[in-house]
Each structure stands twice: as structure tokens, then as C-alpha cells.
Chain A
């Protein structure tokens, strides 16, 4: 997919140059952790509470990134530039999803250690590989849904509001599965093994939305 890699390269370059999305998402995550500390009046979280706080924060940070995903295309005519090229429209879907995935990964590189430092009671090290596995699987889901919703809302008049309103309910099953998978890893008494049931649900979610995105994307982009 030569086109997808050209698009991805361009998006990463744009983000590095303008630094609009990733720093904002990372800063948001850090601020959210502080807010949770004061809001819950807790200094140390474990188990399902820790998993919940972590995933809600990552999800909301993701929503910030989703809003900005197609902004350059819409404002600077980039979408037309792409449409004029003799390439499959799906390349745009793949490239944008990969870009969002990259942004999420960058944010998590900052947010997860920050979380471990600020709010997490038990140590994160023992279960780190499993945690990374959950992060990867869930991030793919966020990336696919996010790209889909971003494409849907970029043409609307109230895009900043509509994007989160549509993506959050859609991501509830992902949230359920991600927290379900993460809770045993953050238990106060020591990490339990990764529940495969929830990983399977995450995988199913990713697959369903990837298929939906592939089926529907052309219609969102073509006129």
C-alpha cells in the first residue's frame, strides 16, 4: 500500500511539525489523573478502580485526538488532493487509523508511567507485558472507531461536539473489555493472569469495526 504509507508519512510529518494533537492528549491525560485524585479523594488505586480510571482517561484523551484527525484534510484541501490520486480510498482509512494508533502509543508512553507514578498502588512491572498487550488491542479498536467517527463528523457543522458524542457510546464495549482485562493485572494482592475472555472480546470488537469501516468508508469520502 504505497499510498497508505505516503499518507501516513505525511501525517506523522505534519504532527511532528505542528505538534497539535499528541502533546494536548498527553497533557490532558496527566491533568485527568490529577483531577481523579481530587475527585475521588484517593492517592492509591488498585484493581477495578485503577483499571477504570486509566481506561476512562485514555479513552477521553483518544477522543481529543479523534477530533483533530481529519482537520488538516478539511481545512487545507488535502482531501481533494487525495481524491485526485488514482488510489484506493481505503488507503486513507488505513493511514489515518495507523496515525491515530501512533498518536495513542506516543501518549501512552507518557500516560501509563505517569499513572503508575501518581495513582497506582501496586507496582506495574510484574504485569507489564500483559498490560502492553491489552493496550495494543484496545488501541487498535480506538483507532478504527476513531477514524470512522472522525470521517463521519468532519463534514458536519458541529464537528467538535458530535465527534465525542458518537464515539463514546460506540467505545463502551471496548471500555468494558479493556477494564475487564486490566483489572486482574492491577490487583493490590499481586497481578493475576490475563483473562483471555476479555481479550477475545477486544479482538472481536476490533474485527467487527474494521470490517464496518472498510465497508462504509468509501461512501464517507466520495461525493
Chain B
């Protein structure tokens, strides 16, 4: 079910992403202060935005699981969070490179977005260890969903707090596109769309693969059951009839 539409989606993603990157390198003007390396912004910021949305979406899906009891929502939540985490590594790496190029250090504490991203990353890095240390799958799903909800609500709270902790604010690049002159803005939006589509494609792909694996496993266990059935019921009398009370 997830596999349907995957190929067209993947093609669209590839087109938009490559188009966006091309625009970043050839269409958008070079930044006066920071030079060519500023172009990493077109990857770094979209990845950050998409990853954060992914985390929050994971929380919403976790809530859907808890309220409906349907464990498929937990699977969707898991995939969203784990993809966002991987993307988060990319955010931190590109952010570090950008910091080095723009401010001379491999890490800057003054960029509130980067810092709060680090905190969020540290939190979500515990998600998988938490999941895999709980054996019972039903309980694992419930606890993971609870975590996803808590962490998802934490993301905006954390950003607010870290922002407020900065006495001087650096030129905030993660501002609305209204602040960016024409070519920057358009390129940024295209790259954002590209990264978002990439996330969607990867999510769909992973869901399709997990779904298939689960169906395979269910079929296998049914086959095993059919070949070696359990012990035939032995009854003294048909079950369900109440006995005499003496």
C-alpha cells in the first residue's frame, strides 16, 4: 500500500532536489560576506526545518496511536522520528561547516537554532535505545508513542528557551522568506520543497519495506501454524456450560 506512487514521488523528488541545488549554485547570487560557503545554507536550513517538522509529526502520530490503539501509527511515528534523527546528523554537520566558514569556529553557541537543535538531537538519540530495551511489543509501542508526544511538545518549548538565553542575537537567518531578496527566497523555497519531498519519499520507502517485511513474517508464521497445529482440545464436556454448584 505504501509502495504505490513511490516511483513517481521519487522521480519528482529527484527533479526538485537537483533543480534546487542547481539554482543554489548557479542562479542565486553569491553572498557578499560569507562567500560561496554560504550556499550550504540552502541545504542546512531546509534539512533543519524538515527534521523538526518530522519530530513534531512523529509526536502527532504517537498521539494517534495512543488514542486509537492502532499500532500502525506507532510504526509511522517510529519511521518519521528515525528519519528526522538521521537528517538531524546532517543538520549538525552542515551547521558546523557553515559556522566554521562564517564565524571561524567549528561550533558556535551564539546561533540559537543550532544549539537548540543539538539539545533536541540529544533527546531523540535516546528514542531507539528506549524502544529496544522494552521487550513486549505492545508496551514498547505505547512507551515509544508517549516519548514521541513528550519530545514533540518539547521541541518548540526548547527553541523558545534557547532563543531567550541569547543576549545578543546573531543575524537570524532562519527568518521568514520575506526578508530574503528575490533570488535567495525562490532558491530557498525550491530547496525546502526538495528536502521535504526527500523526507516524504524516504518515509514512504521505509514504510513500504517494513510493511512488506511484516506481511512476510505474518505469512511465515501462519504457514508454520498450518503445518504443525496445536494440541486438539480435549473436553470433559463442551466448554461454556456451567457446572453444578455443590
A176 B164 Cβ-Cβ under 8 A: yes
B11 located at the interface, meaning its Cβ lies under 8 Å from any Cβ of chain A in the complex? no
Q: Which residue of B lies closest to A165 (CB)?
A: B126
Per-position binary interface string of chain B over residues 37-76, scored 1 when its CB falls under 8 Å from any chain A CB and 0 otherwise: 0000000000000000000000000000010000000000
| Residues of chain B contacted by A81 (CB below 8 angstroms) | none
Is A216 a contact of B146 with CB atoms below 8 Å?
yes
Report yes or no: B122 in contact with A204, Cβ–Cβ below 8 A.
Answer: no
Residues in A with CB closer than 8 Å to B158 are: 172-173
Pick from A148, A169, A176: contact of B122, CB below 8 A: A169
- Complex CA gap A169/B120 in Å reads 7
Give bound CA distance, A155 to B131, whole Å: 11
A172: B residues at CB distance < 8 A: 119, 158, 161-162
Which chain B residues lie closer than 8 Å to A148 at the CB level?
A: 150
**Interface flag for A219 (CB, 8 Å):** yes
Verify if A84 is at the interface (C-beta below 8 Å from B). Answer: no
Is B150 a contact of A157 with CB atoms below 8 Å? no
The 8 Å CB contact of B66, one of A155, A176, A219, is A219
- In the complex, which residues of chain B have a beta carbon less than 8 angstroms from the beta carbon of A153? 130
In the assembled complex, the CB of A149 is this many whole angstroms from the nearest CB of chain B, namely 9
Are B161 and A177 neighbours in the complex by a CB distance under 8 Å?
yes
CA distance A54 to B120 in the complex (A): 24
Q: In the complex, are the beta carbons of B150 and A212 less than 8 A apart?
A: yes
Contacts known (A172-B119, A176-B164, A219-B66); A162 close to B130, Cβ less than 8 A: yes
B residues less than 8 Å from A127 (CB atoms): none
Is the pair B133, A157 in contact by a Cβ cutoff of 8 Å?
yes
A212 to B146, CA, bound (A): 9
* Bound form: Cα–Cα A149–B134 in Å: 14
> Is A158 an interface position by the 8 A CB rule?
yes
Whether, in the assembled complex, A6 has its beta carbon less than 8 Å from a beta carbon of chain B, the answer is no
User: Is residue A9 within 8 Å, beta carbon to beta carbon, of the partner chain?
Assistant: no
Question: How many chain A residues touch the partner (CB < 8 A)?
Answer: 29
How many chain B residues touch A (CB < 8 A): the figure is 31
CB-based nearest B residue for A205: B157
| Residues A220 and B146 in contact, CB atoms below 8 Å apart | yes
Which secondary structure characterizes the binding site on chain A? Answer: helix
Question: Given the known A-B contacts A170-B154, A173-B158, are A212 and B164 also in contact in the complex, defined by CB atoms under 8 Å?
Answer: no
Min CB–CB distance B56 → chain A (angstroms): 14
Q: Contact: B139 with A223, CB < 8 Å?
A: yes
Indicate if the CB atoms of B164 and A152 lie closer than 8 Å.
no
A residues less than 8 Å from B160 (CB atoms): 173, 201
Interface assignment of A40: CB less than 8 Å from any CB of chain B: no
Q: For the complex, is B211 an interface residue (Cβ under 8 Å from A)?
A: no
Contact indicator per residue, chain A 181-200, by CB within 8 Å of chain B (1) or not (0): 00000000000000001000
Tell whether A31 is near chain B: CB-to-CB under 8 Å: no
Given contact pairs A148-B150, A166-B123, A220-B146, A173 touches B133 in the complex (Cβ within 8 A)? no
A65 to B145 alpha-carbon distance, docked (Å): 25
Please tell me if A208 contacts chain B, counting CB pairs below 8 Å. Answer: yes
A47 at the interface (CB under 8 A from B): no
- Which residue of chain A lies nearest to B129 when distances are taken between CB atoms in the complex? A162
Q: Tell me if B119 and A169 are in contact (CB < 8 A).
A: yes
Hey, which bits of chain B sit against chain A, CB under 8 A?
66, 119-120, 122-123, 125-126, 129-130, 133-135, 138-139, 142-143, 145-147, 149-151, 153-154, 157-158, 160-162, 164-165
A-B contact pairs, 17 of them (CB 8 A): A152-B146, A156-B130, A162-B133, A169-B122, A170-B150, A170-B154, A172-B119, A172-B162, A173-B154, A173-B161, A176-B165, A205-B157, A205-B161, A208-B153, A219-B142, A219-B145, A220-B142
